[in-house]
Amino acid sequence: MSAYDRIGQQLSGQALDYVRAISPYVIGKPVDEVAREFGLTDIIKLASNENPLGASPRARAAMQSLDDLHIYPDGSGYALKTAIAKKFDVAPSAITLGNGSNDLLELVARAYLSPGRNAVFSAHAFAVYALVTQATGAQAKIVPALPPDHPTMPYGADLPAMAAAIDADTRVVFLANPNNPTGTWVSEPELRAFLEAVPDSVVVVLDEAYSEYVDRAFYADGRFPDGLLLAREFPNVLVMRTFSKIYGLAALRVGFAVGHPQVIAILDRVRQPFNVNSLALKAAEAALADEEFILHSRAVNATGLDFMAKALASRGLSVIPSLANFVTVNTGLPAGLVFDALLREGVIVRPLGGKSDTGGLSCHIRITIGTQAQNERALAAMDLVLTTLRATAG
């Protein structure tokens, strides 16, 4: 080993033990990499829950009007926060912005977690909850999800069990609604009962990255909660939203959190001063007002979600109930094997399971809802791949 590499290894060893123990988040394969690896030219990416319709036309136009690229962005995000406040009827002081909602999750962890403290979240939850918790040296208390044979919400969050897991050292609860990667959700009565059971000293992060995809009828009859309304009632609720999903701005990385102004002020103490760039600020403000695009995106997703769930079930595959813009399905074969075979057919999906799997999702893949043509192509590839793999295994 060279002296250069020996010193590098030594410096790596000086890092905090709990940081060195982190298994980095595994991102989905980009289209260009798959094209190079397999010599393909026609590839569809249904792995990262992006909007298949692209970005809001208003957002695209807004970005074209920005020419002061030599000027730092507005660190306070005044215009975007004003637009968010107006649309959702919240005070600007109750809002902070992030470089995507992942950035906001990290801010919460940095502000509230440390060695000797813990965060509570469900099994099969968003992988970043575990990462941001471990990066602070805090303990992750992962609560088993509802069983796969649960009559209404297989693999869903077990809220009573999560409430019971909270102890004197708990400072944060992470809960995605709908959940990623399962698509499952909790109802308004269930969530309200949970919040009433959580101590006031615990911050409940309600991650609503996919909530804009939920059919409005689910809100109207109380089957799905509006986190922003609950945040007005429960001062320890911190709601997170993103512009990466229905608004189609994943490449720009912008999200926002809404909560009690004093909690928001704490997050702003650890937030980088220019954490959201000027293009993202302009595009997000315009996308927020593009109701036509939002309604169209929601409608296309609803049709595609229904189509994919029924089509997969008709093939004898078990599908987890979903209100998001993806469907998670049990292929009956190791997820990695199915993922690799689909790659060769030019279809990129997300395999589940892996090192963090507590049992139960090792044969599941997550498929983003695409356009109708993309959905049909994904199904055709699934038919081919599963037939081939089953024949080989048999």
Q: Which of 179, 278, 279, 177 is nearest to 228 (CA)?
A: 177
Contact 157, 122 (CB under 8 A): yes
Instruction: Give the separation between CA 299 and CA 304, rounded to whole angstroms.
Output: 9
In a domain, 50, yes or no: no
Last residue of a domain, one of 289, 310, 337: 289
Looking at the fold, whether 106 and 161 belong to one and the same domain comes out as yes
Question: Would you state the pLDDT for residue 359?
Answer: 55
Question: Would you state the pLDDT for residue 357?
Answer: 47
Looking at the fold, whether 305 and 261 belong to one and the same domain comes out as no
Instruction: Give the separation between CA 183 and CA 323, rounded to whole angstroms.
Output: 6
Last residue of a domain, one of 289, 317, 345: 289
In CATH, what number is assigned to the domain containing residue 322? 3.90.1150.10
Looking at the fold, whether 305 and 382 belong to one and the same domain comes out as yes
Instruction: Give the separation between CA 353 and CA 358, rounded to whole angstroms.
Output: 8
In CATH, what number is assigned to the domain containing residue 220? 3.40.640.10
What is the amino acid identity at position 340? D
Spacing of C-alpha 229 from chain mean position: 21
Looking at the fold, whether 82 and 179 belong to one and the same domain comes out as yes
What's the residue count for the chain? 394
Contact 240, 94 (CB under 8 A): no
Looking at the fold, whether 224 and 208 belong to one and the same domain comes out as yes
Looking at the fold, whether 326 and 382 belong to one and the same domain comes out as yes
Looking at the fold, whether 214 and 110 belong to one and the same domain comes out as yes
Cα 134 to Cα 106, 118, 141, 155: the distances in Å are: 11, 10, 11, 23
Looking at the fold, whether 273 and 314 belong to one and the same domain comes out as no
State how many domains the chain has.
2
- Could you list the residue range(s) of the whole structural domain that residue 31 is in? 12-42+292-393
For the beta sheet containing 118-122, the strands, ordered from the edge strand earlier in sequence to the opposite edge, are: 95-98, 255-258, 237-242, 203-207, 170-176, 118-122, 139-143
Question: Would you state the pLDDT for residue 355?
Answer: 47
Looking at the fold, whether 227 and 241 belong to one and the same domain comes out as yes
Instruction: Give the separation between CA 59 and CA 280, rounded to whole angstroms.
Output: 9
CA angle 64/66/72 to nearest 5° reads: 145
In a domain, 55, yes or no: no
In a domain, 47, yes or no: no
Looking at the fold, whether 157 and 283 belong to one and the same domain comes out as yes
Contact 111, 270 (CB under 8 A): yes
Looking at the fold, whether 78 and 212 belong to one and the same domain comes out as yes
Instruction: Give the separation between CA 246 and CA 233, rounded to whole angstroms.
Output: 27
Element (H, E) at 159: helix 159-165
Last residue of a domain, one of 247, 264, 289: 289
Looking at the fold, whether 120 and 187 belong to one and the same domain comes out as yes
Instruction: Give the separation between CA 266 and CA 330, rounded to whole angstroms.
Output: 42
Question: Would you state the pLDDT for residue 356?
Answer: 46
Per residue of the chain (394 residues), what is the pLDDT tens digit?
888 878 778 878 887 787 777 677 666 667 777 667 767 778 899 999 999 999 999 999 998 887 888 899 989 999 999 999 999 999 999 999 999 999 999 999 999 999 999 999 999 999 999 999 999 999 999 999 999 999 999 999 999 999 999 999 999 999 999 999 999 999 999 999 999 999 999 999 999 999 999 998 888 888 899 999 999 999 999 999 999 999 999 999 999 999 999 999 999 999 999 999 999 999 999 999 999 999 999 999 999 999 999 999 999 999 999 999 999 999 999 999 999 999 999 999 999 975 444 458 999 999 999 999 999 999 999 999 999 999 887 6
